[in-house]
Amino acid sequence: MWQDKWVTIVLVLLLVLLQYRLWSGKNSIPDYLARKQEVHDQSLQNANLVQRNALLKADINDLKIGLEAIEERARNELGLVKEGETFYRILPAENE
């Protein structure tokens, strides 16, 4: 009679210990869910970086292939003007 209860007590104790490890031990379910969220966040960041790299590659190809892209950058970023062109700057009216 005690042997039956003893086996049951040991099995219940093992079940409790395994459940404890599953829910709050190392590599538990909350740890797994946290890592899963980190992987998802990193995947989003990687997708953004892939898109940025694609834009940079397209920009590099434009600069390698055509002079129009170089000229456009020089005009927009450096304010350069072609020889023979006249540059006009229109300033907003001052309010007195």
Res 92 pLDDT > 90: no
Which 8-state DSSP code applies to residue 25? S
Tell me what pLDDT residue 96 has: 60
Tell me what pLDDT residue 76 has: 76
Element (H, E) at 74: helix 67-78
Res 70 pLDDT > 80: no
Quote the CA–CA distance of 60 and 73 in Å, as a whole number: 12
Radius of gyration of the CA atoms of the chain, in A: 34
Find tokens 């790299």 and name the residue.
Answer: 53
Tell me what pLDDT residue 6 has: 87
